[in-house]
Amino acid sequence: MNKNRNTLLFCQSLLLVFFYVTSINSSLAAKAKAPLAGAKSKPYYESPKSHFVNLLAGLPPCSLEQLTKSIAAKPHKAMPYIQRGQALMAGGEDAEDDFKKALSLEPNSALSHIAMSRWYQSQQQWPKAFAELQTAAHLSSDEVANKTLWESAFLHREQKDYSIANKQYEELLKRTKNNQERASLLFEKGETLCRDGKYKLALECCEQALKLKPNLIDAYSCRGLALSQLGKINEGIADLSRIIALEHSADPPPPHLLTAAYTMRSNLYKVQGKADLARRDQSRSLSSQAELLNEMPFRSSKP
């Protein structure tokens, strides 16, 4: 019994690592193109950051030289500074001066405060980052305020402030009427509860999310973890198998999600004493991990 419990705890810690990878590498997640067996619509892979305010929405890619010329042409507008600051950050450069300049030009602009928050986030100055998001929410329309609150909830979860994150997700659920967005919020809340070890509540959130959006593939991973931690091993394996079944479809799961599914299922097979199946999944997990490392976005070594 202790051996099985230890294996489950090890499995839990591994999957929580992959939850983190899923969150910080949202660029790896995308809408799928192939039908999900047993569902009426195509698989959907959640990308948390797609729900945040996009400061560059609708703007064409520009070089730093072009952005500097744009600033020269409109020196009293905040947006050119925000654009250049974003480009500098993407290249690992210091963007603080540009964002502070934007804020000084338009102190009542929600976008200026969001940009400043993004800089503080990159420097891990979390109190300042959260304060800027809070100010932006007060200054913005309902849509931007909701996106800002979503970003705040996500960041609190990544900082392991699960209580605050859950309260903010709950507030967003009260504000949100669209069932597709509610499904994403319920999944995000369920993942937060899973990380906090509240598996029964996490399971309830995942169940609600999947009722609204049966093709939300990430929710099967979260529900699989919750079920296994509640002792429902076969049901957990079934959820993870749903993800793995899409591996060779027209639009397979991204590597981080597939790796998590194989790793989790391998450990659950170990609990059941199915050594051959566990070894097979472990081998496939290692192959998927190699692909995951190849797709990890480049991270600058600059502070």
**Residue-wise pLDDT tens digits, 6-55:** 555 555 555 554 454 444 444 334 333 333 444 456 899 988 889 999 99
Q: Which residue has the tokens 């692909």?
A: 291
- Cβ neighbours of residue 250 under 8 Å, at least 6 residues apart? 32, 33, 34
Query: Averaged over 96-122, what is the pLDDT?
Result: 97
What are the residue boundaries of the structural domains of the chain, listed by start? Answer: 1-46+198-293
Question: Residue 121 and residue 129: Cα distance in Å, rounded?
Answer: 6
What is the per-residue pLDDT for 46? 87
Q: Which fold has domain 1-46+198-293?
A: 1.25.40
Residue 195 CA to its chain's centroid (Å): 13
Rounded to whole angstroms, the Cα distance separating 198 from 6 reads 18
Tell me the two tokens of residue 152. 């705040």
d(CA 239, CA 214): 12
DSSP state of 26: G
* pTM score, whole prediction: 0.84
**Encoded tokens for 117:** 């928050």
Q: What tokens were used for 290? A: 């190699």
For the chain, the first-to-last Cα distance in angstroms comes to: 47
Q: List, as one string, the DSSP characters of the chain.
A: -HHHHHHHHHHHHHHHHHHHHHHHTGGG--B--SPPTT-SS--B---GGGGS--TTTTPPP--HHHHHHHHHH-TT-HHHHHHHHHHHHHTT---HHHHHHHHHH-TT-HHHHHHHHHHHHHTT-HHHHHHHHHHHHHHS-HHHHHHHHHHHHHHHHHTT-HHHHHHHHHHHHHH---HHHHHHHHHHHHHHHHHTT-HHHHHHHHHHHHHH-TTBHHHHHHHHHHHHHTT-HHHHHHHHHHHHTTTTSSSPPPHHHHHHHHHHHHHHHHHTT-HHHHHHHHHHHHHHHHHHHHHSPP--S--
Q: What type of residue is 146?
A: N
CA atoms within 13 A on the CB side of 1: 1
The predicted-structure confidence for 110-169, as pLDDT tens digits, reads as follows 999 999 999 999 999 999 999 999 999 999 999 999 999 999 999 999 999 999 999 999
Contact 288, 28 (CB under 8 A): no
pLDDT of residue 30: 35
Residues ≥6 apart with Cβ < 8 Å to 134? 152
DSSP H/E element including 80: helix 78-90
The CA distance from 230 to 167, in Å, is: 24
Average pLDDT of span 68-96? 94
Q: What is the pLDDT of residue 298?
A: 41
Separation of alpha carbons 201 and 96, rounded Å: 41
* 257-303 residue pLDDT tens: 999 999 999 999 999 999 999 999 999 998 877 776 665 544 333 33
